[in-house]
Amino acid sequence: MASTSKIAVERRNLSPADLYEHAIRRNEANIVSTGALTAETGKHSGRSPRDKFFVREPTSQDAIWWHPGNQPIASAKFDQLLARMEEFCDAHDVYTQDVFACADPRFRLRVRVVSELAWHSLFARNLFIRPTADELMNFEPDFTVMSLPSVMAEPQRDGTHSETFILVNLGRRIVIIGGTGYAGEIKKSIFTALNYLLPAQGVFPMHCSANADPDGSDVALFFGLSGTGKTTLSAEPSRRLIGDDEHGWSDRGIFNFEGGCYAKTIRIHKESEPEIYTATESFGTILENVVFDPRTRVPDYDSDEKTENTRAAYPIDLIPNAVLAGTGSHPHNVMFLSADAFGVLPPVSRLDEDQIRHYFLSGYTAKVAGTERGVTEPEPIFSTCFAAPFLVLPPERYADMLIERVKRHHADVWMLNTGWVGGPYGVGERMSIAHTRAIVRAVLAGDLRGVSTHVDPVFGLQIPNRVPGVPREVLDTRDSWPNPEEYDRQAAKLRDMFDQNIHMIGKSASSAG
């Protein structure tokens, strides 16, 4: 270490109780009435994709899908920022957590997380897989993440866009994060690394949740962007949760990348999401940017005063029916979830091979009017493979892996609209969670395999004519609109947006190749 006026201390693998004490003493966080720890992430209440860069280095540069979301940065710029990170660690107390990613031991990644904040160290402990005492002996990391919010870039000097930076060096297997207190960058940096490392080992990395029936033989996957129900629908009391966000599909089946959950808490209620709600009230759970009463310390999950993206980070064993081994068999059903604010996609449809590729590469959901300044009508969000910010290789590579596995293991693939029916946002109604759950149960029970279907005239989707527990008029999207001709116009508009997006993906992949 460099010579400094302060003797820095590295606090390694502290327990949750220890980290609580450190976070409180250092004024990083507060304890709320439920026993959870609540912290604020500062000006960044979400990820900063514009500030993420891949180091252009010999071992990975020819494989990376270079597009506007995967920005290059020179090795020399990485080295100078890394040197400043190391100087900070020499002069300040830091926290280290040694953890695992990947529940399947064959693909396990040993990860060392070095953090400036005690609550970030607890976050890493909650979200990744926790080694045993024996496994921690002689622990040597395969990948290192350094998260030091106080270290800020100087854009003109360092080649960044702002003082915030997330630099991924796949050759040296290091990620450095500075200028942001948002803990989600830590977990997503390792997901990014796995999207690069695992395909070479024959594993398909996926941004999805997964659950299984009680005996573990019937696995289902749920792909979807934020707000589509990926976490909610996978936390089904009658089934066992494998994981809520990141998984791999190997020759043996499904495995979780993580050992915890990172659930959105905005407007969460015990009645609608009992398992997740209970986990938010537990000692060891971290609440991010959740408002609480300063006198009673009672959290207010309905408040979006700080952000809509309020979160709870907790170990998966707080979910009563979780599969603690983090593994499952090959899935029988794969579901793509889209919260369609245009109100034109059917509540459920079964996809053929061409449609699987099209809608997987699209990764669609929509913003609704009023959720952001300037948004006056629905806006589409396309995130290819439901994971665009974390993809390292060209998207067709991931689509090919999905289709190959679906065909080999005879899985059915479905698209569910968890958004609006009977009209767009402001005219129609949000799809009832009870109806969506009924659709999911029918899919998992095999009740839709022999049901007659009709073809959507705009998207060409096969729509079941009957789903137990769901009214017929809900299933027929066009007929549910007061003006079917207006449906035709809106549906054609969205279809054109899909086509334009697919065209752009193809152009980007071609130019990268």
Q: Is 231 a catalytic residue?
A: yes
Cβ atoms of 343 and 423 closer than 8 Å: yes
Q: Is 207 a catalytic residue?
A: yes
Nearest CA to 265 out of 302, 297, 292 is that of: 302
Helix axes 118-127, 16-25, angle to 10 degrees: 150
Q: How many CA atoms lie within 13 A of 250 on its CB side?
A: 19
Sign, Cα dihedral of 233, 348, 410, 501: negative
Q: Pick the catalytic residue: 75, 144, 226, 453?
A: 226
Cβ atoms of 443 and 348 closer than 8 Å: yes
Cα gap 7→180, rounded to integer Å: 25
Q: Pick the catalytic residue: 22, 188, 239, 240?
A: 188
Q: Pick the catalytic residue: 230, 240, 247, 332?
A: 230
Q: Pick the catalytic residue: 22, 47, 330, 435?
A: 47
Q: Pick the catalytic residue: 98, 104, 218, 245?
A: 245
Helix axes 395-408, 353-362, angle to 10 degrees: 140
Categorise residue 370: left if φ over 0, alpha if ψ from -120 to 50, beta otherwise. left
Q: Is 217 a catalytic residue?
A: no
Q: If you count them, how many residues does the chain have?
A: 513
Q: Is 245 a catalytic residue?
A: yes
Q: Provide the 8-state DSSP code for 73.
A: E
Exposure of 106 by Cβ count < 10 A (0-12 exposed, 13-18 middle, 19+ buried)? exposed
Q: Pick the catalytic residue: 231, 250, 327, 362?
A: 231
State both tokens at 101: 């990613």
Cα gap 501→361, rounded to integer Å: 9
Q: Pick the catalytic residue: 56, 130, 311, 350?
A: 311
State both tokens at 470: 């769901």
Q: Is 47 a catalytic residue?
A: yes
Q: Is 160 a catalytic residue?
A: no
Cite the active site residues: 47, 188, 207, 226, 230-231, 245, 311
